[in-house]
A = this chain, B = another copy of it.
Amino acid sequence: MAEHIRIAIAGHGNLGRGVEAAIGKNPDMRLVGIYTRRAPDQLTPLEAGTPVFGMDALPTHTDRIDVLILCGGSKEDLPRQGPELAALFNTVDSFDTHARIPEYFAAVDAPARANRKTALVSTGWDPGVFSINRVISEALLPDGVTYTFWGDGLSQGHSDALRRVPGVAGAVQYTRPIQEAMDRVRSASRPTLSTREKHRRECFVVLQEGADAEQVRNAIVSMPHYFDEYDTEVNFISADELARDHQAMTHGGFVIRSGNTSPTNAQVIEYSLKLGSNPEFTASVLVTYARAVHRMHMAEQYGAKTVFDVPPAMLSPKTAEELRAEYL
């Protein structure tokens, strides 16, 4: 086997821990360091031997790392870290604030190009493998419509919104796709679906001492953008129930395109994920794209990249000959 790809992790929350686990599943990679903003000795790596450093050690470690996987959040961490670290390292990240991706891409592209680095931004599952499927299925069936459904799964953004409602002590929110809408989409009838017809929202809420349940419910179901356009179910539970029954980080979704290749013939392409752990799957995608980033860098393809720039062969540890013989 060729030399290992030396991977490092910047940030050690759920996503960083998922990346640690994923590297262990890829024998062509080696985890050479975890970089954290906490005190390094407070962090317990999955494998006892993995070196842990403070984030400030990164600029002195540029020759030890082939690809740095950025595991910070899209709100606070990545807008600053992404451009900074792309000047020093080849990077991969999961920046997922959809509306700001073009701006973020540009901010990462300039330092990466200037320093002959390769930086793949906004991968994971959505944005990420769902995005690939939207692009490819639309290219295959130009006369058609694409639908994305999310869930069943816990939405972090909507759970956060619940927790900001006065009177709420704790909460989670599940996004559920509506079966009838999916069936209509799969029938290739190209339905026009309202927001309410595609997903419903199910909330499990722990009230603060003395809070009024009806008042909290009304505040939730009428919350603009987050809940008002959906059928939202609010269930009140105890703190113990929240801790016991609502810790799983399952998620998933569906990208479905239907289109016609002739007036009489409809075609349906469907891609779906059923994820036992949202952060661990996202982490696996980041690690797979780290392999591609390393190869693109070796091929002198510098600057910011997205999943749209990566040929499938670059994601696989197998050779082109193996892929042609075994997977076509």
A interface, CB within 8 angstroms of B: 18, 21-22, 25-26, 98, 101-102, 105, 122, 127, 129, 131-132, 134-136, 138-143, 186, 188, 261-262, 264-277, 280-281, 283-285, 288, 291, 306-313, 315-318, 320-321, 323-325, 327-328
Contacts and interface: CB of A to CB of B under 8 A. Distances in A.
A271 to B, nearest CB: 5
Given A311-B311, A315-B136, A122 B328 contact: yes
Nearest to A276: B265
Stoichiometry, copies per complex: 2
Contacts of A21: 261-262
B306 A280 contact: no
B288 A262 contact: no
16 contacts: A25-B143, A101-B328, A135-B323, A136-B316, A140-B281, A140-B284, A141-B284, A188-B276, A264-B276, A265-B280, A267-B284, A270-B270, A307-B312, A308-B327, A309-B311, A311-B311
A269 B261 contact: no
A313 B309 contact: yes
A253 to B, nearest CB: 11
B261 A283 contact: yes
A265 B25 CA distance: 13
Given A261-B18, A261-B281, A102 B324 contact: yes
Contacts of A306: 323-324, 328
Given A105-B324, A316-B139, A277 B284 contact: no
A132 B312 contact: yes
A66 B122 CA distance: 34
Contacts of A328: 98, 101, 122, 127, 131, 306-307
A22 B281 CA distance: 36
A273 B269 contact: yes
Nearest to A20: B262
Nearest to A186: B274
A308 B325 contact: no
Contacts of A261: 18, 21-22, 25, 276-277, 280-281, 283-284
B262 A267 contact: no
Nearest to A126: B328
A269 to B, nearest CB: 6
5 closest residue pairs by CB, A with B: A265-B276, A261-B280, A308-B313, A265-B277, A127-B328
Contacts of A101: 324-325, 328
A276 B266 contact: yes
A324 B309 CA distance: 11
A327 B131 contact: yes
A315 B269 CA distance: 16
Given A267-B273, A284-B141, A324-B101, A129 B134 contact: no
B277 A262 contact: yes
A275 B262 CA distance: 12
A308 B320 contact: yes
B277 A135 contact: no
